[in-house]
Amino acid sequence: MPIYEYICKDCSRRFEVLVYGAKKAQCPHCQSGRLEQQLSVFAVAASGKSATESAGNGGACGSCGDPRGPGACESD
């Protein structure tokens, strides 16, 4: 089920909603159906790697999980 972002044309509120099948979205604030669908921005990691690994530092420390990478803590 996709998540869509909308702006209500009646009350100008921005919101996200899960859309099930052919069901039409409504503004959760004013229940209007006059909506403008927005492009939804989401993060995707390249090749199954985390953003930290993709940046080139090799990922989190294997001993303590320090996001600065192996050797960043005193556990190694």
Q: Are 65 and 76 in contact (CB under 8 A)?
A: no
> Can you give the pLDDT at residue 76?
46
Q: Which residue has the tokens 């993709």?
A: 54
Residue numbers of the domain that contains 23: 3-40
In this prediction the pTM is: 0.48
For the cut 90, the answer to whether the pLDDT of residue 58 exceeds it is: no
Render pLDDT for 31-57 as a digit per residue (tens, 0 to 9).
999 999 887 655 444 555 555 444 455
**Calculated CA dihedral for residues 43, 11, 30, 7, nearest 10 degrees:** -20
48 in a structural domain = no
Indicate the pLDDT class of residue 27, thresholds 50, 70 and 90.
Answer: very high
Structure tokens belonging to residue 50: 């985390």
51 in a structural domain = no
Q: Is the dihedral of CA 68, 74, 75, 76 positive or negative?
A: positive
> Can you give the pLDDT at residue 24?
87
14 in a structural domain = yes
**pLDDT: is 33 or 62 the higher one?**
33
